[in-house]
Amino acid sequence: MIIEAATKSFSLFGYKATTIDQVARLANVGKGTIYTFFRNKEELFDEIIKSLIKEMKDTADASIDPELSFYENVHRALYSILRYRKEHQLTIKLFQEERDMGTPAVIDVMVKLEQMILKYIAEQIIVAMEKGEIKQCDPELTAFVMLKLYISLIFDWEKTREPLRKEQILELFELYIFKGLSK
Amino acid sequence: MIIEAATKSFSLFGYKATTIDQVARLANVGKGTIYTFFRNKEELFDEIIKSLIKEMKDTADASIDPELSFYENVHRALYSILRYRKEHQLTIKLFQEERDMGTPAVIDVMVKLEQMILKYIAEQIIVAMEKGEIKQCDPELTAFVMLKLYISLIFDWEKTREPLRKEQILELFELYIFKGLSK
DNA sequence: GAAATGACCAAATGGACGAATCGGTCAATT
DNA sequence: AATTGACCGATTCGTCCATTTGGTCATTTC
């Protein structure tokens, strides 16, 4: 009940604007009860983020299709993960709070989230290299480049221009990262 | 004298923290004098940014060597332009002010700066396509991807990891954008 | 007697409001 | 005709103090 109430409140109001009193009220428990299960507000927050990360990972895993090529699978996994930022209440709120207020606890969590995504991609890259599907490269750096390219295409491009369609993003991803511009 | 004093003050204190009184004092003129040459604070600022842009353009032009390949020239031009952000007092200050305070006038200017860079790269890309050096692609979008990749490699990567050397960046740029990861 | 509770505390936050500072004007001066 | 700084309204700053916040713990509950 506490986790459910806290998730709802964090999603609606963000980390800073969520008070323990409110979570206790929403969860129909006394305030002290929360502190028998969580050492403090941040630990409660971390617990919720832990399930969020698990959920994202599962979604990404589910989006991968062994029949398809590596680059298409990376595209699918990345796309499904990054859709969270745009469509899930909690991640939207946290993303805004990080940008607008710079709440330290939120920054911490967003860094963790990015690290998890990078680790996930890097693992896929290592497998693809072992299979001989792609050239030898630094997995960490390649994952970083892929993620940044995606974020640019999905979030930054839309700030000033017409949003790109899903297939367009796939094409661009293929063109720039896999095939290369050289003739 | 006014422009010189204003440039110094903007570089040292940023846009918001620079007062017209201070510029007048530094320039050894009365405050009213400034308003006979510039309609307001923002116009004075824009004038200074105009010379900054010209300076950046000249530096980029100078860094291009017709003997070298297209991708190496793009790398050189981008690298020299982006070095401004790291080494020039004024751009450093403005970059910080945009990130930390979100001063509207500064955001405006930084958007203009980015547009100028994108336009510059797009022009280079169009020429390279005409020469048949690279595949057909959307110049605007390609310029966008190149710039974002560069910014990621030069600024974002360094936030949490060992900075990349110049040659490393060149190699990565070649690998991801030009050759592609596919075998 | 273990778990739950809410009154309680120190610390952080947020208005309220007067003082100070800001960008910009303009009559007086050079 | 060009320059100036006193001056103006608007915004920001600093300093209160009342309120709220995260967290504790003696008391109550089952």
In order along its 183 residues, chain A shows pLDDT tens digits of: 999 999 999 999 999 999 999 999 999 999 999 999 999 999 999 999 999 999 999 999 999 999 998 888 999 999 999 988 889 999 999 999 999 899 999 999 999 999 999 999 999 999 999 998 888 999 999 999 999 999 999 999 999 999 999 899 999 988 888 887 665
Which pLDDT does position B70 carry in this prediction? 87
B143 has pLDDT over 70? yes
Assigned CATH topology for domain A41-179: Tetracycline Repressor; domain 2 (1.10.357)
What is the band of B56 on the pLDDT scale with cuts at 50, 70, 90? very high
Beta-bridged to residue B134, according to DSSP, are A182
B15-29: pLDDT as tens digits: 999 999 999 999 999
Structure tokens, A78: 């990345």
pLDDT at B183: 58
For testing contact with chain B, the best of A71, A115, A182 (most B CBs within 10 A) = A182
CB A2 within 8 A of CB A29: yes
Strand C proximal to B40 Cβ, under 7 A: yes
Q: Does A134 touch chain B (CB under 8 A)?
A: yes
Task: Write phi, then psi, for A29 (nearest 5 degrees).
Answer: -135, 165
Listed by start position, the domains of chain A span 41-179
Point out which residues pair with A182 in neighbouring strands.
B134
Exposed, middle or buried by CB within 10 Å (0-12, 13-18, 19+), for B178? Answer: buried
Task: Name the residue facing A181 among B148, B172, B177 (closest C-beta).
Answer: B177
